[in-house]
Structure 1
Amino acid sequence: MPVEVRVPTLGESVSEATVATWFRKPGDRVAVDEMLCELETDKVTVEVPSPADGQLAEIAAPEGAVVAPGALLARIAETGNAGPEEMLPKSDTKTKTQEGLEKMSGKSVDVMVPTLGESVTEATVATWFKKVGDAVAQDEMLCELETDKVSVEVPSPAAGVLAEILAPEGETVEANARLAVITEGAAATAAPAGEGDKAGSKAARVASPGAGPETPRPRAGDERADIEDAPSAKKAMAEAGVSRDAVTGTGRDGRVMKEDVARAGSAPAAPASAPPPAAAAPRSPSNAEDAAREERVKMTRLRATIARRLKDAQNTAAMLTTYNEVDMKAIMDLRNAYKDQFEKKHKVKLGFMSFFVKACCHALKEVPEVNAEIDGGDVVYKHFVHMGVAVGTPNGLVVPVVRDADQLGFAEIEKQIGELGLRARDGKLTMAEMQGGTFTISNGGVYGSLMSSPILNPPQSGILGMHKIQERPVVVNGEIVIRPMMYLALSYDHRIVDGKGAVTFLVRVKEALEDPRRLLMDL
């Protein structure tokens, strides 16, 4: 029975795409996960892989056709048997090590990519803890995957020997893809030299110092020979007169995509009179000495996602920041008076963050546009507060969410922030725990920041920046006194929040913090 190839999910609010290029024609043999065609939306280019081994029997949507998610693209006639070894994908060709192990036990178990979370479709293989030929126990950790926001450990599904690694370190894998093969019940053997971990040597090439941060796989030599740029990209390069060497590919395995050519073409050209730069000029001795003391590390998926989202926020929102300062004496006195009783009753320490969360929830009721977001031509007002609390971790900044914070008391807020912070530092947060926030608080003061302008967390329209508490001379009732002061910063999206609303919000937060009794009386 033919296998249908359909248009994948294109992303939020994307309802159609255009078939840009078919890489195969009817009658061609195709391997599972081999790229069949390329779709173009108004924002991104999407590659469609083959869901099965076989023969491309029919193309239902030709180049230029406009298709919706789930529409039929093609049909594949599956092969009745595996066929010659050369017809299989490289990852399905068994190594001598695997064949030897299978003879010992006769049963292989696939190690698959686990469920990555809602809306997460791919991950990067960060680290393999075992190598081919190693004995593994059931549930022993084999490798670690990195997604845009969290790390996922992959346990062994069975006891035996790691027979083959199909996805080396640095490779991007899709949900439910095969990572490795375990030979169940086999004894550990050393992998033959030159063959045991082909994946490992491949990973070494991918992550070599020459690759650089966010650099695709090396595009020269034997690696480049297997990488075919998108036909639409080749056509765009020819039309624009852009050299292949001037384009950095962002597609699978470093393939150049059409949008890569557009980015390269938009870069300012060098003046015609300028002499061409010297090709591959060797570094001077002083630079060579500096290079020996440098360390080049590939950017993690989490760091790359943080960088992209922060830049997207600057490019999309009309971001503006307003500032104020708050006298923290009232909160500090209240906390000192009740912290022991609070901890004894609620089994959690009373910190400053719960006061800020409650003050922000109070202010958001009066200025609801700060708790809203823009969706196309609509403004979506949230009649609840899911409070994001930015947490710094060894791997980067994450923002877990305290849900329905406006309905919680001080103790429950402190408990949830403590638990989420601990899970964030241990890399145990789930995607669900980081989604759906309506407003965010970021505390740079814990690192000693005196003043900063936080960047919005899209699609939210507001973020409050807390800073260091520092004693300063201020005038109170006509007298100069020393008070513990903190600068506050509210960054907001001026497309939806006017200056009056932003200033009013920050003033209400200041008032609630300087006189916490206002929170009790809802003033």
Structure 2
Amino acid sequence: MAVKIIVPELGESVLEATVSAWLKQEGDFVNMGDVLVELETDKVNVEVGAKSAGVLQKIQVPKGSDVKVGDVLGMIDEKQSASQPVETSKPVEAKQEVKETVVERESIPQVSPVASRFAKEMNVDINKVVGTGSDGRITKADVESYLQGASKQVEVKSEAKVSSFQKIIDTSSRSEERVRMSRRRQTIARRLLEAKQSTAMLTTFNEIDMSAMMDLRKRRNDEFQKKHGIKLGFM
């Protein structure tokens, strides 16, 4: 039986989202609750998990596409969720293969998309990070804790990045790369443009002759200070 992967409710007043990344590929086996795809909205990122175990049969919406609440993102085939039949002639080898497969799956750490991107930005080997989330899931806080313990290494890498960046600046050749704006960046740009178009961007100046007021203050300042203990101001 094929199970649809549907865009869930995204929050109050949020009706659309953009497919930020597919964390599973067609043909991959998924367990119930595994994160399949990450959606980006104007406010937050939403992770869509598998409603049942099976094989990701089809990805209907590719990365970078816009979707609405209720749209179908892909399909999961539940029929292929069962393990493959074991040959009776080699029961011992079959059991060993099943155990090795289970161990390999258990050894692969579950990483949240935010933690994965943050680890890549900081050049952190995700396999060295210990997860403290549910079922050993690695979160961004775990990566930050790992960085605090290896602060010296991070400083060395940062200095290397700065030196390499300076070398790039010293060279006369510069390359350009066009990157699609995220949905959140698009919202910020749209709000800034609306503010510029609907608000008067100007500065006004008013000139006043204060010479008479300054003369009056000069004459009354000493008397006012003796009487009240403070100097006479203009306000």
TM-score, normalized by length of structure 1? 0.21
Name the structure with the higher strand share. Answer: 1
Name the structure with the higher helix share. Answer: 2
Q: Please say which structure displays the higher CA radius of gyration.
A: 2
